[in-house]
Amino acid sequence: MGETLEIIRSISFSLARGEIVSLVGPSGCGKTTLLNLLCRLIEPSQGSVKWHGNEVGGVPPGVGYMLQKDLLLPWRTAIQNVMLGLQVKGGSRAEHRARASELLDRLGLGGFTDHFPSTLSGGMRQRVALARTLAPDPDVLLFDEPFSALDFQTKILIERDTLRLIRELRRSLLLITHDVEEAVCLSDRVIVLSHRPCMIVAEHRIDMDGDRDNLIALRETKGFAHYVRRIWAELDIR
Amino acid sequence: MFCCAALIGVWQWRAREGALNAFLYGSPAEIGTALMTTIETGAIWTDLTTTALETMAGFTLGNVIGTTLGLALWYSRFVSRVLQPFILALGSIPIIALAPITIIWFGTGFASKVAMSTLSVVVVSIIIAYKGALGVDPDQINLMLSLRARRSQIFRLLVIPASMTDIFAGLKLTVGFALLGAIVGEFMSSTKGLGHEIFKSGSLYAISAVFAELIITVALALALSGIITRVERRLLPWRHDLS
């Protein structure tokens, strides 16, 4: 005990506007730590975190953060949960409500705006969480395995809708996952991380023909298995 | 329910047979008569309302002070550091040991009972509110931080509402403590109140009257906690487990 672990060594990567990039790594490699460092929720013990080449003090603006836990506030209805980030920013309540209602509509939850989270299913709750993340209109989305607790069917549907929406809004997404297939399916680029201390092992641009919205058919596409196999090998899971 | 009825039945039977000394242990029939008499003559109403008012005042005061301080402990590390030793010290004193001081400071009337009641509520209330505030999911705080919320916003939008479940549990718990404080205060020195009547009847070996007054005290406690449950259901509509 009391021993310090070197978790993350030097990591540098870029994320272009509208690009979806996945970070995959063996479990326990420090993915979540990396994400928390990026949003400055924790301070690095050494070194610095730079956004657009500049060090930022405090949480950088324009970042949306989403976890496996939906973190909906149980005392707020779906729409009030979506309005949370807007309320923190300030401004007119009517505008917030309109924006939240529009997002919920687009995520197929138009009829559930006034439901409390406890009455919604896991998938619906995660959709509300997604709407909450998107509501303040962030430039960069940081997702830490937000869909990993959902069953396969729900997951495929919500991933499809999420991707469609993010591509449409031209937002950048950094997705942290341990699921290689998910990473290959969803991303434009996959970055493979090593065991502790966490470093970048490889980077793959994912080029696949076919409809990127059809996440099931994509798994059958030529090249999919190839990417998955290579990334698996690089992950070096013991 | 059945067990209770059976117990009362056996009690009445043994008391009537003379196997149980009714002078020392009372009997259900006598208790019933005593209860009816106090209610009919209306003598008990002054005592009941006195104790109820003392209890409610102490309960409100104790919980307002306690909850405010408990949440403030979360908000300010400074407040937390200053107050913690006092809270521990106050929490470890048996409440009855404070009775002489409250009588000297607040007199023998209404105020000293409210003070006793407040004192028996406040520490529990502080600890529960503080625990509630500390129990907020750190991921939820991170989420608020990622939305660039200020500490005051996190406090208002997250910590206070999240602590409500615990605070209401505390309210239900402290109703009993508030009543206890009021009755202990009445035991020490008083001219009216349920505690006063119980003490008086006990001194006179009027066991049936003691029991009758105890029943009224229990009824008061149940009525007060019933009110709180209702308020909770009204104020926390998202808690579907409550209804």
Per-domain residue ranges of chain B:
29-235
Q: Which residue of A has its CA nearest to B238?
A: A75
pLDDT of residue B166: 93
CB atoms within 10 A of CB A181: 17
Q: Does pLDDT of A217 surpass 50? A: yes
Contact criterion met (CB < 8 Å) for A73 and B162: yes
Task: Give strand pairing partners of A173.
Answer: A20, A141
Nearest to B30 by CA among B165, B173, B210: B210
Q: Return the percentage of chain B with pLDDT > 70, whole number.
A: 98
Name the amino acid, one letter, at B86: F
A165 to chain B, any CB pair closer than 8 A? The answer is no
Distance from CA of B242 to the nearest CA of A (A): 13
Distance from CA of A9 to the nearest CA of B (A): 23
- B125 — pLDDT class (breaks 50, 70, 90): very high
- B51 — pLDDT class (breaks 50, 70, 90): very high
Q: Does pLDDT of B58 surpass 60? A: yes
DSSP H stretches of helix in chain B: 2-17, 22-25, 28-41, 43-75, 77-92, 99-106, 110-134, 138-146, 151-154, 160-188, 194-203, 207-235
For the stretch A200-212, pLDDT in tens is 888 888 877 767 7
List C-alpha distances in Å: A226 to A22, A156, A182, A206, B67: 17, 21, 14, 11, 60
In the numeric block, which tokens belong to residue A73?
Answer: 């506030």
The mean per-residue pLDDT over the stretch A171-189 comes to: 87
Report A:60-79 residues touching B (Cβ under 8 A): 61, 63-65, 67, 69, 71, 73-76
Query: Which residues lie closer than 8 Å to A196 by C-beta, 6 or more apart?
Result: A5, A6, A7, A28, A29, A30
Mean model confidence pLDDT for chain A: 84
For the stretch B139-150, pLDDT in tens is 899 899 888 899
* Sign of the torsion angle spanned by Cα atoms B213, B218, B219, B221: positive
- B199 — pLDDT class (breaks 50, 70, 90): very high
The mean per-residue pLDDT over the stretch A99-121 comes to: 91
The mean per-residue pLDDT over the stretch B227-231 comes to: 91
CATH fold for the domain made of B29-235: MetI-like fold (1.10.3720)
A202 to chain B, any CB pair closer than 8 A? The answer is no
pLDDT of residue B67: 95
At A121, is the secondary structure helix, strand, or coil?
coil
Range name among A190-204, B31-45, B90-104 with the lowest pLDDT average: A190-204
The mean per-residue pLDDT over the stretch B89-108 comes to: 89
Domain extents for chain A?
Answer: 1-62+139-238, 76-138
More confident residue, A7 or A102: A102
List C-alpha distances in Å: B45 to B38, B51, B113, B189, B213: 9, 10, 18, 19, 11
Contact criterion met (CB < 8 Å) for B143 and A71: yes
Is the bond leading into A197 cis (omega within 30 degrees of zero)? yes
Check: CB of residue A132 under 8 Å from CB of residue A64.
Answer: no
Range name among A15-19, B3-7, B179-183 with the lowest pLDDT average: A15-19
CATH fold for the domain made of A1-62+139-238: Rossmann fold (3.40.50)
Question: Which candidate from A59, A75, A76 shows the least CB-CB separation from B145?
Answer: A59
Question: Which candidate from B139, B146, B161 shows the least CB-CB separation from A69?
Answer: B139
Distance from CA of A74 to the nearest CA of B (A): 7
Check: CB of residue A104 under 8 Å from CB of residue A139.
Answer: no
Q: Which residue of B has its CA nearest to A75?
A: B238
The mean per-residue pLDDT over the stretch B117-131 comes to: 93
Residues in B touching A96 (Cβ below 8 Å): none
pLDDT of residue B243: 55
More confident residue, A200 or B227: B227
Name the amino acid, one letter, at B215: I
A44: enclosing H helix or E strand? none
Q: Does pLDDT of A98 surpass 60? A: yes
Q: Does pLDDT of B42 surpass 70? A: yes
Report B:155-174 residues touching A (Cβ under 8 A): 157-158, 161-162, 164
Cα–Cα dist B171/A103, whole Å: 39
Contact criterion met (CB < 8 Å) for A74 and B147: no
pLDDT of residue A96: 92
pLDDT of residue B2: 87
Contact criterion met (CB < 8 Å) for B140 and A71: yes
A133-170: buried (b, 16+ CB within 10 Å) or exposed (e) per residue?
A: bbbbebebbbbbbbbeebeeebbbbbbbbbbebbeeee
Cα–Cα dist A13/A209, whole Å: 25
Residues in B touching A69 (Cβ below 8 Å): 137, 139
A113 to chain B, any CB pair closer than 8 A? The answer is no
Interface test with A, best of B151, B163, B238 (most A CBs within 10 A): B238
The mean per-residue pLDDT over the stretch A195-220 comes to: 76
Distance from CA of B157 to the nearest CA of A (A): 9
For the stretch B147-196, pLDDT in tens is 889 999 999 999 999 999 999 999 999 999 999 999 999 998 888 999 99
**How many residue contacts between A and B have a Cβ separation below 8 Å?**
57
- A80 — pLDDT class (breaks 50, 70, 90): very high
The mean per-residue pLDDT over the stretch A162-183 comes to: 87
A54 to chain B, any CB pair closer than 8 A? The answer is no
A110-121: buried (b, 16+ CB within 10 Å) or exposed (e) per residue?
A: eebbeebbeebe
Strands (E), chain A: 20-24, 50-51, 54-55, 63-66, 140-144, 172-177, 189-193, 200-205
The mean per-residue pLDDT over the stretch B38-54 comes to: 89
Distance from CA of A11 to the nearest CA of B (A): 21
CA B120 to chain centre: 8
Q: With left for phi above 0 and alpha for psi between -120 and 50, is residue A138 left, alpha or beta? A: beta
Q: Does pLDDT of A1 surpass 50? A: no
pTM: 0.81
pLDDT of residue B158: 95
